[in-house]
Amino acid sequence: MMNANDLRLDDYRQDRRVARWLALVGATDADVPRGNVKATLRFLAERLPATAPGEALSFLIGMDLSKVVIPMQLPVDTKLIGFREADALNRGDTRPDLRAKFFAFPGASPHRLGIRVSSREVVHYNVHTECWALSSYASGVLDFWTDDSPTDRTDRTTSTFEAMSLGTTGMHQAFSPIKRHFTEMLPAHELKKTGVHATGGDRQLLVPQAWRYIGIVEQ
């Protein structure tokens, strides 16, 4: 059975290898999803080559592969936002969290990026040095790795936007057809958790090494 150990970022060069990614994501092997997987893997191979295949897979699961995924340049003075929890904010620091990878354009709804809105603040950013980003649309995902603390028994939702913006490398499950693939890659304590649906639909931007190019704008 396939798992992330069978994958490489340079798989975008061969359709038969791309088909393996599509199978694990649970997407149809058609022109649009295939092109989006290729675009994502090529972007990562060129711009973020240290990305582990499992992390790349979690990026893809958090994307709606039926909609365009495309690299784009962010000019100087481009405005961006992020929805961050308090422990991910560096008070008084104008740089984004060093782990931050995912951002959105102003106007994006936190309810359509698969994140928990409570205890979360919107953070405004400005691009001070032109950089590349991978534009995609957030998909509906299942969070099955978030801890349920004794003081918070309510089911909590998340997405690739939240997980990657905070540097989490835990896997996301795009719905039941691929659960069996991911459970093979998770430690035993992760398997105890139940996935919770998180809604997507809005545009998200993956910005490699964002801290080099983007600054926080104090409001």
Task: Of 22-36, 155-169, 196-210, give the lowest mean pLDDT range.
Answer: 155-169
Q: Identify the CA nearest to 3 among candidates 188, 170, 181.
A: 181
Residue 201 DSSP code: -
Task: Of 71-80, 115-124, 147-156, give the lowest mean pLDDT range.
Answer: 147-156
Range of the domain at 62: 4-216
Top-confidence residue, 198 or 84: 84
Q: Compute the average pLDDT of residues 128-156.
A: 65
Strand partners, 120: 85
Question: What is the 3-class SS of 18-54, one letter each residue?
Answer: HHHHHHHHCCCCCHHHHHHHHHHHHHHHHHCCCCCHH
Total domains present in the chain: 1
Rounded distance, CA 144 to CA 131, Å?
33
Cβ neighbors of 77 (< 8 A, separation 6 or more) are: 126, 127
Does the reported pTM lie above 0.85? no
Q: What is the pLDDT of residues 30-82, one digit of tens each?
A: 999 999 999 999 999 999 999 999 999 989 988 999 999 999 999 999 999 98
Q: Compute the average pLDDT of residues 96-123.
A: 78
Helix (H) or strand (E) holding 72: strand 70-74
